[in-house]
Amino acid sequence: MAKAVAGHFYAVGVGPGAPDLLTLRAVNLIQSADIIITPRSAQTEVSMARQIIEPYLQNQEIIEQAYPMERNLDKTLRAWGQVAEMIAERSQRGQSIVQTTLGDPLLYSTSCYLLDQLRPRFPEGWIHVVPGISAMQTVAALSGDSLALQEDRLMLMTAHDLNEVEKAFTCCETLVLYKCGKKLGELAALLERQGLANQTFLACYAEQEGKQFITQDLRAAADGKPGYLATAIIHVGRRGWKTTNLDKNPEPKL
């Protein structure tokens, strides 16, 4: 079982929200690390990542680090640079450091900025990434529908630009949209125009106790102010042999 090594840094994905969806490796590193950094936005006093790992905390030093969550690259890089300096200094003291992140550390994650800042400051092999269950996987599990079959194309993007979303319908069979809470009304209208409203599944705060909300009615969800952590899965169509040639190939070669 993995244990945190003195001086090493670990970017650890803690999944969507349920403490029992962490990997064993994530739990072992969290429990054995000297320092745990849990990010939160500058606008909130609550670190969701800390809430998720609370059952696994023992005597570690906990740092709740506020990061700017805004579209200002210079400000963001400065903030992460300051955190990277702090982490490098703790590493030089021989302390092991874990930073937790919602979902997976390399998928629309603030940890990506930090990793870029840390690489020049750490010896090779001292930085580690531990994958976590992503929102895309979680929402697919809640829906019960497959994300992709055979030759299907799976595409993931944010809902920031709905013109780009509309273009994406022609490029994939399944489209997953992150961060669509603020765009739900407009997204619902777009899906209705495209005839895709009944082929869409939405989950807000997936696997977060007392907050999870799932629906196929995006217009109703928009009226309820779903919040930031909203993920939609849109099944545009299928292109695999299952839908075109299954009778001729009842036992496909895998």
Domain boundaries, the chain: 9-130, 135-241
| pLDDT tops 60 at residue 242 | no
Distance CA 37, CA 40 (A): 10
Residue 245 clears pLDDT 50, i.e. is over it: no
Average pLDDT, the chain: 90
Is 194 exposed, middle or buried (CB count within 10 Å of its CB: 0-12, 13-18, 19+)? Answer: middle
pLDDT for res 244? 52
Give the CATH architecture of domain 135-241: 2-Layer Sandwich (3.30)
Question: pLDDT (tens digit, 9 = 90+) per residue, 87-104?
Answer: 999 999 999 999 999 999
The more confident residue out of 188 and 76 is: 188
- Stretch 161-167: mean pLDDT: 97
CA dihedral angle for residue 185, residue 190, residue 191, residue 195, rounded to 10 degrees: 140
What CATH number belongs to 9-130?
3.40.1010.10
d(CA 85, CA 248): 61
Q: Which of 149, 144, 147 is nearest to 242 (CA)?
A: 149
DSSP assignment, residue 203?
Answer: E
Structure tokens at 74: 């210079």
Q: Any idea what the Cα angle at residue 50 is, between residues 38 and 34, rounded to 5°?
A: 60
pLDDT value, residue 240: 64
pLDDT of 126 over the 80 cut: yes
Query: pLDDT band at residue 2, thresholds of 50, 70 and 90?
Result: confident
What would the mean pLDDT of 166-195 be, rounded to a whole number? 95
Distance linking the first and last C-alpha atoms of the chain: 33
Pick the range with the lowest mean pLDDT from 30-34, 170-174, 225-229: 225-229
Please report, for residues 109, 113, 196, the alpha-carbon distance to residue 29 in angstroms, rounded to integers and kept in the order given. Answer: 19, 21, 43
pLDDT tens string 99-124 = 999 999 999 998 998 999 999 999 99
Mean pLDDT value across residues 36-62: 88
Q: Measured on CA atoms in the order 127, 130, 134, 140, is the torsion positive or negative?
A: positive
Could you tell me the two tokens for 183?
A: 């765009």
In 10 A of CB 1, how many CB atoms?
8
What is the Cα–Cα distance from 230 to 204, expressed in whole angstroms? 4
The pLDDT of 156-174, averaged and rounded, is: 96
At residue 248, the pLDDT reads 41
Q: What is the mean pLDDT of residues 1-20?
A: 95
Distance (Å) of CA 159 to CA 164, 184, 230, 241 = 8, 9, 10, 30
pTM: 0.89
74 pLDDT tier (thresholds 50, 70, 90): confident
Q: Which residue from 9, 183, 167 is spatially nearest to 88, judged by alpha carbons?
A: 9
User: What are the start-end ranges of the H helices in 33-110?
Assistant: 48-53, 73-92
Kindly indicate the confidence band of residue 45, based on its pLDDT and cuts at 50, 70 and 90: low
Rounded to 10°, the helix 111-118/73-92 angle is 60
CA–CA separation, 36 vs 58, rounded Å? 11
Contacts with 237 (C-beta within 8 Å, 6 or more apart), sequence order: 173
Mean pLDDT of the region 130-147: 97
Give the pLDDT score at 219: 85
pLDDT of 253 above 60: no
pLDDT above 60 (res 129): yes
Integer Cα distance of 54 and 84 in angstroms: 24
